[in-house]
């Protein structure tokens, strides 16, 4: 029941013909998942992986906070810790299962090592983030890497070279085992996105990163963008390091905004391809140096104002972050919770082991097979009008991981094989019911029994952006529009 890569348009990434992703990333998580599978049910394995990712995030962020404390003082480190723990973007991204997550971890750790005056180790960690995580994150790592090489060229170059060679060779060996051919997923991904070869421009949205940045980092994002304007006020001895730490924000935001393809699916809570989280936090922390008491501008009007406004600004940022987190969890959690109800629903019919769980227009919110109980034999999609390529159940018959199924393509074109044609075969249906003044994508619910479960779900299309994006007491419940996320059971045919 393994469903590969749930993002539309990227299903070909682990097709052996394209080989755009390495299996090394998945194998890395077996360090935790394999022992967890011996002790717990599938759902617990899912959470074990998340705890492991959270631990990695804690280690990398703790290194950065310690470095900030030693270099800029405990006050600034406290602000850094508060924002890393409570900012909505950091909260959700820290435990997300995506290869680019390694870029976020590595960005945090590499920056921390850089500030701790360990340039060689910073370069080595940067190499891990680029090769094991997301190759395009090299744009964000360039400032730290180049400045580290200028400070300690011989050792930094040696560390970076050895780490890069090892990490480039290891995925090739691992992927040869799975793809049954010699290939480099890092090179393939770069060639596909740089030279083209498919619909790599899909899902472009104007001002995507600017809007997403404010949603998930609120006023921190604004402070980050304004940092260059206040840089002359900062002590000169801090300027080189601060510029190196902050510059990835502007490099990343500028270059990635020019791309038509934006690295986020429509309903994903993972913000700005993950590593953007760390860049914003670094910039926000640096901005707060303005209010340090040891500044030579201690008696200037702007510093006095900064000291007065500092507690209020921090409180406003953290409140806005909590409001965003609350809105996301309470507005959209139904798509996750409804599958967990299957565990408590034991009336699946006489042949429960053969039950089929069908998903229509809500295919893109399917959480994973970890939340599907054993009595469900299959998870299938039903045609609701979507014309893009959808995930297929893993099939070992044509060659397993080394196969190149013809129904996978790099044009995001639907395959006739992806849908279940016989809708009567569905035992359960997961569907979102919305009140629409026009016909919405969905399925005829008249052949289904009353809902086993019906949970409120925020309707983002009909809810005003200013009320749905952040939780505002009273207004959030009364100004937003909610649908019902339903789990339904097929009406049994009379004997």
Same-domain pairing of 323 and 274: yes
Burial of 136 (0-12, 13-18, 19+ CB in 10 A): buried
**Residue (of 114, 195, 220, 215) closest to 160 by Cα position:** 114
CA pair distance 278, 386, nearest whole angstrom = 35
Does residue 365 lie in a domain region? yes
Same-domain pairing of 277 and 361: no
**Poorest-confidence range of 171-180, 258-267, 301-310, 429-438?**
258-267
Reduced to 3 states, what is the DSSP secondary structure of residue 379? Answer: strand
Question: If pLDDT is split at 50, 70 and 90, which confidence band does 347 have?
Answer: low
Does residue 412 lie in a domain region? no
**Residue (of 380, 377, 338, 387) closest to 363 by Cα position:** 380
Asked if pLDDT for residue 293 goes beyond 90, the answer is no
**Count helices and strands in the chain by DSSP H and E runs:** 18, 5
Same-domain pairing of 212 and 346: no
**Poorest-confidence range of 105-114, 273-282, 287-296?**
273-282
**Poorest-confidence range of 173-187, 265-279, 409-423, 443-457?**
265-279
Same-domain pairing of 82 and 126: yes
Task: Provide mean pLDDT across the span 68-78.
Answer: 81
Q: What is the pLDDT of residue 16?
A: 73
**pLDDT tens string 349-387:** 445 457 888 888 888 888 888 888 888 888 888 887 777
Task: Tell me which residue range forms the domain holding 472.
Answer: 334-383+419-489
- CB under 8 A, 24+ apart: contacts of 184-193: 185/19, 185/20, 185/21, 185/22, 186/22, 186/131, 186/135, 188/18, 188/19, 188/20, 189/20, 189/21, 189/135, 190/135, 190/136, 192/18, 192/20, 192/410, 193/136, 193/261
**Poorest-confidence range of 38-42, 283-287, 447-451?**
283-287
Does residue 407 lie in a domain region? no
- Average confidence score pLDDT of the chain: 77
Strand partners, 381: 359, 419
Which of 299, 332, 365 represents a domain boundary (last residue)? Answer: 332
Share of the chain above pLDDT 90, in %: 17
Same-domain pairing of 355 and 312: no
Q: What is the pLDDT of residue 442?
A: 44
Does residue 399 lie in a domain region? no
Does residue 343 lie in a domain region? yes
Does residue 494 lie in a domain region? no
Same-domain pairing of 346 and 302: no
Asked if pLDDT for residue 324 goes beyond 50, the answer is yes
Highest mean pLDDT among 91-105, 238-252, 438-452 belongs to 91-105
Cβ atoms within 10 Å, residue 177: 11
Task: Provide mean pLDDT across the span 142-163.
Answer: 93
Same-domain pairing of 101 and 121: yes
Which of 332, 359, 391 represents a domain boundary (last residue)? Answer: 332
| pTM for this model (two decimals) | 0.82
Same-domain pairing of 342 and 241: no
Asked if pLDDT for residue 226 goes beyond 60, the answer is yes
The total domain count for the chain is: 2
Q: What is the pLDDT of residue 173?
A: 93
> Which residues neighbour 101 within 8 Å (Cβ) at sequence distance 6 or greater?
53, 93, 133, 274
Residue ranges of E strands in 338-427: 355-359, 376-381
Same-domain pairing of 93 and 233: yes
Q: What is the pLDDT of residue 170?
A: 92
**Residue (of 434, 328, 337, 402) closest to 178 by Cα position:** 402
**pLDDT tens string 90-111:** 888 888 888 877 888 888 899 8
Does residue 400 lie in a domain region? no
Highest mean pLDDT among 29-43, 318-332, 338-352 belongs to 318-332
> Which residues neighbour 350 within 8 Å (Cβ) at sequence distance 6 or greater?
none
Q: What is the pLDDT of residue 155?
A: 95
Same-domain pairing of 137 and 36: yes
Question: If pLDDT is split at 50, 70 and 90, which confidence band does 464 have?
Answer: very high
Same-domain pairing of 255 and 277: yes
Question: How many CA atoms does the CB half-sphere of 236 hold within 13 Å?
Answer: 0
Which of 316, 332, 348 represents a domain boundary (last residue)? Answer: 332
C-alpha distances in angstroms, 214 versus 272, 442, 469?
11, 32, 10
Reduced to 3 states, what is the DSSP secondary structure of residue 171? Answer: helix
Task: Provide mean pLDDT across the span 440-448.
Answer: 56
Same-domain pairing of 241 and 377: no
Does residue 101 lie in a domain region? yes
> Does residue 110 contact residue 141 with C-beta atoms inside 8 Å?
yes
What DSSP designation does 362 have?
T
Strands 355-359 and 428-433: parallel
What DSSP designation does 14 have?
G
């Amino acid at each position: 029941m393994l469903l590969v890569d749930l993002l539309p348009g990227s299903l070909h990434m682990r097709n052996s013909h394209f080989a755009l992703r390495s299996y090394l990333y998945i194998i890395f998580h077996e360090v935790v998942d394999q022992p967890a599978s011996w002790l717990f049910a599938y759902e617990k394995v899912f959470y074990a992986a998340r705890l492991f990712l959270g631990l990695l995030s804690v280690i990398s962020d703790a290194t950065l906070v310690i470095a900030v404390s030693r270099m800029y003082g405990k006050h600034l480190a406290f602000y850094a810790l508060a924002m890393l723990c409570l900012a909505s973007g950091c909260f959700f991204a820290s435990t997300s299962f995506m290869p680019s997550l390694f870029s976020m971890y590595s960005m945090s750790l590499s920056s921390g090592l850089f500030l701790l005056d360990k340039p060689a180790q910073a370069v080595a960690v940067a190499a891990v983030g680029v090769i094991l995580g997301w190759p395009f994150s090299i744009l964000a790592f360039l400032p730290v890497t180049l400045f580290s090489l200028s400070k300690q060229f011989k050792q930094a170059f040696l560390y970076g070279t050895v780490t890069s060679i090892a990490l480039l060779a290891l995925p090739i060996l691992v992927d040869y085992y799975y793809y049954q051919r010699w290939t480099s997923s890092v090179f393939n991904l770069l060639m596909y996105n740089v030279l083209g070869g498919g619909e790599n421009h899909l899902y472009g949205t104007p001002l995507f990163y600017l809007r997403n940045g404010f949603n998930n980092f609120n006023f921190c994002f604004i402070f980050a963008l304004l940092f260059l304007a206040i840089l002359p006020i900062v002590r000169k001895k801090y300027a080189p390091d601060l510029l190196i730490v902050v510059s990835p924000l502007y490099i990343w935001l500028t270059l990635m905004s020019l791309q038509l393809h934006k690295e986020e699916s429509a309903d994903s809570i993972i913000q700005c391809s993950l590593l953007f989280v760390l860049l914003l936090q670094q910039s926000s922390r640096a901005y707060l140096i303005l209010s340090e008491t040891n500044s030579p501008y201690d008696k200037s009007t702007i510093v006095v104002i900064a000291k007065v406004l500092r507690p209020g600004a921090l409180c406003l940022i953290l409140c806005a972050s909590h409001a965003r987190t609350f809105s996301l969890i309470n507005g959209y959690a139904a798509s996750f919770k409804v599958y967990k109800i299957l565990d408590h629903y034991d009336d699946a019919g006489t042949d429960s082991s053969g039950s089929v769980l069908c998903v229509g227009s809500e295919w893109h919110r399917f959480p994973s097979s970890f939340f599907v109980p054993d009595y469900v034999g299959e998870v299938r999609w039903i045609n609701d009008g979507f014309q893009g390529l959808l995930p297929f159940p893993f099939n070992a018959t044509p060659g397993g991981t080394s196969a190149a199924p013809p129904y996978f393509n790099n044009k995001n074109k639907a395959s006739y094989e992806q849908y279940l044609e016989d809708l009567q075969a569905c035992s359960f249906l997961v569907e979102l019911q919305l009140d629409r003044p026009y016909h919405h994508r969905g399925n005829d619910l008249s052949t289904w029994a009353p809902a086993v479960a019906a949970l409120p779900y925020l309707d983002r299309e009909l809810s005003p952006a200013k009320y749905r994006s952040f939780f505002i007491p009273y207004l959030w419940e009364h100004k937003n529009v909610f649908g019902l996320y339903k789990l339904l059971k097929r009406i049994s045919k009379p004997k």
